[in-house]
Structures are given as C-alpha cells and as structure tokens.
Structure 1
C-alpha cells in the first residue's frame, strides 16, 4: 500500500503542475474573495495542500489507503464544480482536471484492487491464525486444569485411604448395624454403596441382580467408607421424610379448615 501511495503522489504532482491547477493548490480564500455563502454550499472544503500534508503525517492521523486520497482529490474538483456555475472558468478548469485525474486513476486502479485483495487475504489468514491460537490456549488451559483436578482428586483419595487405614477395627455389632443400614437405603443409594465395595474389590459384581455381601470379607477401609456413606444417606432420607410428613400434615390441616368453614356457612343458611 505504501508503494501505491507513492505512485498516487506522482499522479497528484502531475495534476497540480497543470496550468489550470492553480485555483485548487491552496484552501479557498473565502474572506479575501468575499464568498460569504461558500460554507453554506460546501460542507467539506478540500485542496491539494491539505491533501499533501495529510499524506505526509506519521502519527496515524493521515490517510490509511489510496482510496481515501482518491476521494479527497475528487472532492477538490467536485466542490469547485458545485459552487461555481457551469459557464464559470473555475468550473470548466475543475471538470477538465477531474477528467485527466480519472484517466490516471483508472491506470492505477488494477494495482489498487490487487493490493486490497492481498490485504484482505492476509487479514483473513491472520484472523484464522488468531482463532486457532486462542482455541489452542483455551484447550491447554482446560487440559492443565483437568490435570490439576486429577492430581488433587488422587491426592484426596490417598489421604482418605490413609485416614481409613488408621481407623480402628470395626466390631461385630457395628457390622450388623451397617448391614441393617444398607437394607434401609433407597435403590439409588444402595447402588452407590455397592460401587464403593467394588472399588476395592475388583471381583465384586456390583451390578448383579443378586449380591451376596460378606461383611467379614471386606477390608476395614471399605467398611468405614460404607459406614460414613450409609450414615449420611440415611440422614438425608430422614430429612426428606420429615419434610414430606410436615407437608402432608399441613395439607390435611388446610383441608380440615376448608371443610369446617364450608360446614359453618351451611349451618348459617338453615332457617
């Protein structure tokens, strides 16, 4: 694009050196020429000096591409043709220079289109590469987080097993109570309890239709894990039953109150 802007600068110099270019080289002297209505008619004044200065700035406020310069050069001439009547010399000079400028622009246009196409392809490629990089970064973050969680869970399992191994030996009475607790579990909780047994007993068929459970054959860590699980599960079941019982009692009271009110209304209607 910089090379195209350099070539466009050459075109601009050629046009500005034309014998009829002098009215357009500097900003219009509105006060000196007493053009009191100029800014009412021309909303965006433009001239070659303003264009050149904007082409030379390096702070990012200048032209971004050749088409922006092309538009301002055309504006120089169309402003003159808009403000001055067709029979006016300035109008005719602007029309002639605009035609010459358009001829030179058409010669440069294929290169402009080629460069714009290349830039769009590069931008699209850069966008795809950025999206791929972002996806790769997100995937890495997810993988790292998953690995950290796996390590954490593994460490927690080790700590749990260490704690359970330090537990005292479960008594026969405690085993009996544990068996009774297992029989009170819901089907869903019972399946979870069987999965706990299967974790340390690969030969145990947790999904079999009939399960023969020998408490004495289970390891101490398994027994204590079962005890903790059964205790918590039964507590949850008890809370659920209490809540349901409370709701049923409340519903019964509401029904009784409604029936009592109905009976009272009917008794009032008896003569």
Structure 2
C-alpha cells in the first residue's frame, strides 16, 4: 500500500464552480427545449454530477439548485446516488454471496446500489408521474446504513431539472483487458484485490449504463490529483471531531477511502475522456480543481 498522504491542510470550500456550471446547464436546457418543443409533456432535463468525496459536491449542488429554482424559475430536484444503496439486509446478502470480495462487503462500490429501484424511480420521473424519492440513512446499524421506510420518503410531483449527484455517477464499464491492464500497472489500491473481484464490480456497471444514458448533460468536478480525496476526507473528519467530539481518525479515513479508491483508479480516465463521446459532443463540462478545491481548468467535451 502506498504511504498515507501528508497531514491535511485546512481548506475552505468556496463556490467558484456554480458560476461556471449554471451557463452550461442553461445552454443545454435551451437546446433540450428546442429539440422537444413539439412535445406537450416533455420529461425533466437530467444533469449528472460527479466528483470525488470531499471535493465540494454538496456545496455545489445546493448552490445550483437554489439558482435554478429561485433565479431561473426551474423546479429543481437533487437526487443522490447514495440514496439508492441496497437495504441493509440486501447488502448483507450481497456480502455473504461474495465473502472473499472485500469490494462488496460494505456499501460503496458499483454493485452495491439497487439499480432496479433507480430505474423505476427515473422511469416515473420521465413520465412526469408523482414519485417518492428514496432516502438512505448512513448512520443506521452503527454506520453500516439502511434505507429509510418508504412511507417516510418525500414525494415529488413536478421537476423541470433533476440533478443526479454522486461519486460514481457517469462511470462506464471497461472491457476486461483494460481492467486487467490497470490491475497489472502502477496503482494505489488495485493490487490489493484479485482481478476477478475487480471484474465483478466492472460487470455490475453495465446495469448503471441505463441511468447514464438518461443524462442530458454531465458535470465532472475533477481533481488535479485524485489522491487529494484522502486529505479532503481527513479535513472533514477533523472538523467533525472538533464540532461534535466524534469522527474518524486519519488512519480510519485512509482505510475508508481505500475501499472506494479502486473505482477511481479504474473508471476516472473514461469519465475524463467524455462519457457521451463520440456521439454527443458538447454535453459534458469538466472542471479541474487544485488542492484548495479552486477551479484550475475548464473544458467542454
């Protein structure tokens, strides 16, 4: 295993991203409406937003939703991929079915989401039907997590724009030879797992393509160095320890992020190259941020 990152510097998440994202979203919404102008009941415009943990997704989607709703008059719904995790019971069953695969012992990696639930949810949204929005409680079962009862889920009846955010939104499966080549190459975490276990996670991503193909636009908040995720998560936990008296230690954060990091190493290159290309150019915005989370580069793919 690679050495732990240096002790984190305290940085503040500043929203320099929504001023770049809003014009992009509005331009795509306009094109979408022009293409569907003849339809009396067009489905909502769906934006995918991807970013590694700690990069500032929550701050960004909150700002985007507020601007789209209040300034632009677009009814905006934010949905997290995390809310589609398996129930606690189903996650235990998945772990038991693959007892030697560390990648699926806990929620996180592709393959630990209830994709049929997500498909049914987005199918109802796209038909402009009232639908309950799934909710997931990460604190349940001493942090193992569980889905909240359906009768507690909020109901949405109208949405002009839907933002689907999450750390693995937009990931596409790779061919087996590419997975093997990455596994054999230099990496931080891939060598900690058997090739067959990585291939299992990769195979699960085929089901996620249905959701990715629904996206009308995609925003990728990328990092100059993906390993910044370790320091960013350590900062968050240090703040929790200071404010609440509880939070993961730096060593626990490294172990926690290591469980997610194989997917970053496998699938980020494909996201960077453009998840819609070559068929749908101009639909992806990529913002690259530095160690302080400020935008260093911008490109439309």
Do both proteins adopt the same fold according to a TM-score greater than 0.5, normalized to the shorter chain?
no
Greater helix share, structure number: 1
Query: What is the TM-score when the length of structure 2 is the normalising length?
Result: 0.19
Q: 1 or 2, which has the higher strand percentage?
A: 2
Output the TM-score relative to the length of structure 1.
0.21
Q: Tell me which of the two structures has the higher relative contact order, counting C-alpha pairs closer than 8 angstroms and 6 or more residues apart.
A: 2
Larger Rg computed on CA atoms? 1
